[in-house]
Amino acid sequence: MGKQRVLSGIQPTGELHLGNYLGAIRNWVEIQQEYDSFLFMADLHAITVPHDPTKLAKNTYNVAAMYLACGIDLNCATIFVQSHIPAHTQLAWLFNCITPVNWLEDMVQFKEKAIKQGENVSAGLLTYPVLQAADILLYEPDKVPVGEDQKQHLELTRDIAARLNYQYGTEDEPVLKLPEPLIRAEGARVMSLTDGTRKMSKSDPSDLSRINMLDTPEQIQHKIKRCKTDSVRGLTFDDPERPECNNLLTLYMILSDQTKAAVATECQDMGWGQFKPLFTETVISALKPIQDRYHEIMAEPGYLESVLRDGRDKAEAIANQTLARVKAVLGYSVPL
Ligand code: AMP
Ligand code: TRP
């Protein structure tokens, strides 16, 4: 039997941050030898909220370079741009016509983003998870490694696949394969530096709330100095009254590659004045090799272009097969 397949993507809507790395990319790197990986930049998703056309293409390249800089290995992985493959939007349309609107209105991310945008909510923001279902189901992955916030979208993806199979397939011959989410407990929800009850996010207006993958040592030091803490002495995990403390200790644990027990012991008598410099050094040295590799890759634009061209060719061949199968069961004729 061949390797199982994984598929995942990130929206190129701004700089990637520690949440994207620990919730998603780092996990892709960790499992890549075991799987055949398909990783893409979700640039069609990036315009569901107001965007800057002068930055879209550049951000898309930056994210691709960041995948490689974080250690994605092209011997195991195919990297491509969502908008380069028309099958994504075509399948999304077909799915739109079998997805009940109330399923979409129930999505937490839609509700949150719609509130932020007030009157100016596009239809694309509502149907975004349908496009995500198309992204996934086109490639028939076994697993989809994402952060916790994407769990509901993956359930919807399974629901859409099951509905299409039920309506147009047979029990012996399902049209679409149902994927499993792959969500690691550790790092699945990295919280904001300015509020330990909210997730770290690209869309938070305050840059002080997140550590970006390309932040300089000075920026990292400044952000950690300013980050929210509390006035309790002794640092502990899992205290519901101390969400910031739990978040910072968890980040320290993952980035310093230590066990929870070791960090709990090391930090139990520490105050913030002692912890913060230690944590700052850990973040800076964890990001340094990634940043160095990123700048090397960006210095060679021809290389990235060839990676994305190869990725598109490989991904498109698979996507087109699935699209043709779905069109056939829906009754479309094949153009002669
Ligand atoms: P996005 O930035 O929304 O395109 O998310 C890209 C990937 O990063 C998805 O797999 C998310 O689940 C993951 N992710 C985003 N923010 C966080 C966070 N604060 N903690 C953990 N994972 C995250
Ligand atoms: N919606 C995802 C996010 O905001 C990005 C995404 C789009 C995605 N399509 C996907 C993730 C398919 C996994 C699989 O993070």
pLDDT digits (tens, 9 = 90+) for 274-330: 999 999 999 999 999 999 999 999 999 799 999 999 999 999 999 999 999 999 999
pLDDT in tens, 89-126: 999 999 999 999 999 999 998 988 888 887 788 899 99
pLDDT in tens, 143-189: 999 988 899 999 999 999 999 999 999 888 899 999 999 998 877 79
Q: What is the pTM of this model?
A: 0.94
Task: Transcribe 41-72 into DSSP letters.
Answer: E-TTGGGSS---HHHHHHHHHHHHHHHHHTT-
Per the listing, tokens 């101390």 go with 242
Mean pLDDT of the 210-219 span:
98
Q: Residue 4 pairs with which residues in a beta bridge?
A: 35
**What torsion do the CA atoms of 234, 235, 236, 241 make, to the nearest 10 degrees?**
90
CA distance 293 to 256: 20
- From 151, 177, 202, 228, active-site residue: 202
Mean pLDDT of the 191-209 span:
95
CA distance 90 to 92: 5
pLDDT at position 116: 82
Is the CB of residue 241 less than 8 Å from the CB of residue 190?
no
Q: Which numbered ligand comes closest to the C-alpha of 186?
A: 1
Q: How far is the CA of 63 from the centre of ligand 1 (A)?
A: 13
Is the CB of residue 2 less than 8 Å from the CB of residue 141?
no
pLDDT at position 234: 94
Indicate which residue's Cα is closest to atom 10 of ligand 1. Answer: 146
- Give Cα separations from 197 to 78, 109, 142 (angstroms): 35, 16, 32
Q: What percent of the chain has pLDDT over 90?
A: 88
Q: How far is the CA of 77 from the centre of ligand 2 (A)?
A: 17
pLDDT in tens, 14-44: 899 999 999 999 999 999 999 999 999 999 9
pLDDT at position 256: 96
- Long-range contacts at 273-280 (CB < 8 A, ≥ 24 apart): 275/235, 275/248, 276/224, 276/225, 278/252, 279/224, 279/248, 279/251, 279/252, 280/220, 280/221, 280/224, 280/225
Mean pLDDT of the 76-94 span:
98
Tokens of 28: 């892709």
Please tell me if the CB atom of residue 199 comes closer than 6 angstroms to any atom of ligand 1. Answer: yes
Q: Residue 276 pairs with which residues in a beta bridge?
A: none
Please tell me if the CB atom of residue 113 comes closer than 6 angstroms to any atom of ligand 1. Answer: no
Q: Could you count the other beta carbons within 10 Å of the beta carbon of residue 263?
A: 18
Q: Residue 86: is its pLDDT beyond 90?
A: yes
Q: Pairing between strand 77-81 and 180-182?
A: unpaired
Q: Residue 80 pairs with which residues in a beta bridge?
A: 40
Kindly calculate the radius of gyration of the chain based on its CA atoms and give it in whole angstroms.
21
Please tell me if the CB atom of residue 39 comes closer than 6 angstroms to any atom of ligand 1. Answer: no
Does 327 qualify as catalytic in the annotation? no
Is the CB of residue 161 less than 8 Å from the CB of residue 326?
no
pLDDT at position 185: 81
CA distance 57 to 219: 26
pLDDT in tens, 231-269: 998 999 999 999 999 999 999 999 999 999 999 999 999
CB within 8 A of 159, min separation 6: which ones? 103
Tell which residue, 216, 275, 217, 231, has the closest CA to residue 251.
275
Q: How far is the CA of 41 from the centre of ligand 2 (A)?
A: 9
Alpha helices in 74-216 (DSSP H): 87-96, 101-105, 108-117, 123-137, 151-168
Does 113 qualify as catalytic in the annotation? yes
Q: How far is the CA of 253 from the centre of ligand 2 (A)?
A: 26
Longest dimension (CA), the chain: 75
pLDDT at position 113: 84
More confident residue, 114 or 207: 207
Is the CB of residue 196 less than 8 Å from the CB of residue 228?
yes
Per the listing, tokens 């719609």 go with 114
pLDDT at position 49: 86
Is the CB of residue 3 less than 8 Å from the CB of residue 36?
yes
